[in-house]
Structure 1
Amino acid sequence: MNTTTPGASTNTTTPYILGNLEMCVFSIKVLFGLPTHYYIIWLIVKGTGGVASEFFNFNLSVCEIGACLDCLFFILVNWILFLEPLALLFQGFIITSRPLFQCLICVECYLAVVHPVTFLKYKPLRYRVICSTAAWIIIFVSCLVCMFTLMSSNINAHTWFFLSQFIFILSIQLFCLVAVLRALKQSGPGERVREREEKNHMKRRAFQLILITTVNMVITYVPIIISGVFIILKQHYHVSYWAPGLVCYALASFVQPVLFLRRAGKLSCPVSP
């Protein structure tokens, strides 16, 4: 007699399907993320502006390579068990590095558009190095926290850890991006009609770029924040809570590299904006 109920069969099959979905997302991240970010780093180093003009994007690509390696470790840990501590350690790159450097890029854009005088004051490379050094220290601390909380199976502490970071950093990013969008919609106080027409095309392209970045931030962080809230409310980790946020967070990481390559002239678009 078959004693397996339909509900039990569904409960057994769902984690298996979602687990395979996670492996597919990790594989896509590794296969496409590693060569893309290596190429971006090569473009920044070989570019005419040097590393200084794209310093935060350079650090962001380095961090994304670390995140890709973490996905690779999670794939290999199914066969090589001693890689598990390394996979848990590198999870700090996924949780902290991308939000931090994206936040620095948004703040820099905010200063350049809304407070140009302040931006020119803090534009030199030494200020970017100071901010990046502080960010890297936070990232390494985050890596250690992730490793210890996950190795002790303290899922609630780990969830609170990344959830508080995402909510705080997303708030700063949305504030900066919305302020930039409002500034781009307004005309300068002394601009004539002809000057407005000349700048209209450039401002429209910048507005579209910032709008895409804003939507990308929402798609990146809101689903995974909701996943974290579900885990805390249920006091239980289940792959069905985590999978939707993970898919959005992983796949949305390709938007900013595509925008960078488009801005660098390495991607052609048949329809000009």
Structure 2
Amino acid sequence: MTNTVEINNFTMNFSTLGASTNSTTQSIGPQEILESCLQFTTFLFGFPTHCYITWLIITGTGNGLSSELFNLNLSVSEIGNCLNNLLIASMIWFPGLLPFKNFLTGLTITARPFFQCLMCVERYLAVVHPVTFLKYKPLRYRVICCIVVWMFTIASCFGCWVINTSDTILYVWFSFVHFLCVLFVQLFCLVAVLRALKQSGPGERKREKEENHMKKNAIYTILVTTVNMLVTYIPLCLTGLYSILSNNFVQAVWFPSVMCFMLAGFFHPLLFLHRTGKLPYSCHHFHDFVLKLIM
């Protein structure tokens, strides 16, 4: 009976990765109010930002729609995540929104990680296996990959909708394995790209300075992407492992990891805005300062 109460208290506060429970058993305390404020703040800033990114890509900003297709789909999925944050923030006053939130949870835990994986694999092929990258560079291959990811996402949405209402332990296992696989794939690709960029390649002396600058920019992007990936998924994996091994779902333990996951959603928009020159002037000074520390 004690374990059942603990699980019910846990599932209502799993935030973006949340599971379902009976709302009558959950009292509203300071932590619940703090979580709702964080969810609403994420929606307030994230929704217009991702809409702006989507508009920039569609109108041709960046490297073109073909090259930015993964970024476009990632932004669209993040718009759905922001709507899910709004639903979670509103559940204090409207507990009937719980089924919709459970459905969109599949979008949160599948779309962002999978599209980030596609972007990491694309960088890996472009740097480590350029011949293979050129072979699969046409737009049709990117479209096929995006369709497959969206199919997995829709299946995940229905799966989370069913699992959340039946077996919380199974849902935690599903999320843990999901994020662990994503973590390994992205870490492998990013480390391989970083090692390849660190190696000095042959080139003409005239282009040496320009190539070094481009290489430093690429290394900067890979480093900050790796840090963002570690901050996003390691807390979730460790918290999920702790919950599985101890069968003890502590609300305070989950809150920091979910907060990291939500805030990490702003990384790719900022990276895109920086790459397209849409960030304020002060941000470029910070970028130049970091470049001086590299290599």
When the two structures are superposed, what TM-score results if normalisation uses the length of structure 2? 0.84
Residue 40 (1) aligns with residue 75 (2): no
| CA deviation string 1:55-91 (max 9, x = no partner) | 0000000111111111111122222233210011000
Gaps of 5+ in 2: 1-27
| CA deviation string 1:76-110 (max 9, x = no partner) | 22222332100110001111111000000000011
- What are the residue-to-residue correspondences of 1:155-166 with 2, within 5 Å? 155-166=168-179
Q: Is the 8 A contact 1:44 1:50 kept in 2?
A: yes
| CA deviation string 1:148-202 (max 9, x = no partner) | 11122x22111110110111111010110011111111122x3244432221111
Q: How far did 1:23 drift? A: 1.4
How far, CA to CA, are the matches of 2:242 and 2:46 in structure 1? 29
Moved over 6 A (4+): none
Residue 90 (1) aligns with residue 90 (2): no
- What are the residue-to-residue correspondences of 1:87-236 with 2, within 5 Å? 87-152=101-166, 154-188=167-201, 190-236=202-248
How far, CA to CA, are the matches of 2:179 and 2:144 in structure 1? 22
Q: Is the 8 A contact 2:36 2:90 kept in 1?
A: no
1:52 to 49, 55, 66: 66
- Match for residue 7 of structure 1? none
1:237 alignment partner, SS class: coil
1:52 alignment partner, SS class: coil
| CA deviation string 1:204-224 (max 9, x = no partner) | 011011100001100000011
2:29 alignment partner, SS class: helix
- Match for residue 8 of structure 1? none
* Matched AA of 1:59: N
How far, CA to CA, are the matches of 1:240 and 1:78 in structure 2? 18
| CA deviation string 1:2-25 (max 9, x = no partner) | xxxxxxxxxxxxx83332332122
Q: Is the 8 A contact 2:37 2:89 kept in 1?
A: no
Q: Residue 21 and residue 186 in structure 1: after superposition, are their counterparts in 2 closer, same or farther (change >3 A)?
A: same
Residue 238 (1) aligns with residue 258 (2): no
Gaps of 5+ in 1: 1-14
Q: Is the 8 A contact 1:96 1:139 kept in 2?
A: yes
How far, CA to CA, are the matches of 2:210 and 2:151 in structure 1? 44
Number of residue pairs matched?
258
Residue 264 (1) aligns with residue 281 (2): no
Q: How far did 1:270 drift? A: 4.5
Root mean square deviation, CA, Å: 1.6
Residue 25 (1) aligns with residue 45 (2): no
